[in-house]
């Protein structure tokens, strides 16, 4: 299942830029991609990328432009803008090299367990970022999942217009 975002921040929240909303929506889609990935390397990469996009959403919402300096990692910049996310930044920075190796196609660089653990951690992080930005996460079924992976992962597939949806018992996508 993929979290998607509502456009309106919760009452009392500071208005969030459209760029931050878009990045958080991309992060949510990345979690969906990771959830349905059967290869551990693909699952790990998508989960890590989802967390990276969520961190970029925080920067888009909170950072103020400064004079251009050298390029720095989101994970380096995040603690300066959101100190409460400093431990998360350190954690995800530690996985960046493994994600790069997985994306490069190096065999057996990521185990099933590592991929599953990172997906769970990324889900927590994206939810934390959404809460921090005052944007509620709403559970929705993915539109970009292929019918084959949707059937094997959930059970039934339906189509509404041109958007594929997946339904589970009690929930219609």
d(Cα 127, Cα 138) in Å, to the nearest integer?
10
Question: What is the DSSP secondary structure assignment for residue 158, as one 8-state letter?
Answer: E
Helical (H) or strand (E) element with 34: helix 18-36
Query: Which pLDDT score is estimated for 80?
Result: 92
The full set of domain ranges for the chain reads 2-140, 143-173
pLDDT of residue 96: 95
Residues 6+ apart with CB under 8 A from 53: 23, 24, 26, 27, 30
Q: Considering all CA atoms of the chain, what is the largest pairwise distance in Å, rounded to the nearest integer?
A: 53
pLDDT in tens, the chain (173 residues): 333 333 333 444 457 889 999 999 999 999 999 999 999 999 999 999 999 999 999 999 998 777 777 778 999 999 999 999 999 999 999 999 999 999 999 989 999 999 999 999 999 999 999 999 998 775 444 444 433 333 333 333 333 333 333 333 333 33
**0.75 exceeded by the pTM?**
no
The string of DSSP codes covering 123-143 is HHHHHHHHHHHT--EEEE--S
**2-140 under CATH 1.20.120.330, yes or no:** yes
* Residue-level pLDDT at 14: 57
What was the pLDDT predicted at 154?
Answer: 37
Tokens encoding 29: 């889609």
Q: How far apart are CA 43 and CA 51, in angstroms?
A: 12
């Amino acid at each position: 299942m993929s979290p998607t975002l509502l456009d309106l921040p919760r009452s009392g929240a500071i208005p969030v830029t459209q760029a931050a909303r878009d990045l958080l929506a991309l992060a949510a889609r990345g979690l969906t991609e990771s959830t349905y990935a059967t290869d551990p390397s693909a699952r790990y990469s998508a989960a890590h990328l989802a967390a990276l996009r969520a961190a970029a959403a925080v920067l888009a919402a909170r950072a103020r432009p400064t004079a251009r300096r050298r390029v720095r990692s989101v994970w380096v910049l995040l603690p300066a803008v959101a100190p409460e996310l400093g431990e998360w930044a350190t954690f995800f920075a530690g996985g960046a090299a493994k994600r790069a190796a997985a994306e490069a196609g190096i065999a057996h660089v990521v185990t099933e367990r590592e991929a599953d653990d990172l997906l769970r951690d990324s889900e927590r992080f994206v939810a934390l970022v959404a809460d921090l930005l005052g944007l509620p996460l709403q559970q929705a079924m993915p539109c970009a999942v292929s019918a084959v992976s949707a059937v094997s992962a959930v059970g039934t597939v339906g189509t509404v217009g041109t958007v594929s949806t997946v339904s589970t018992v009690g929930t219609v996508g």
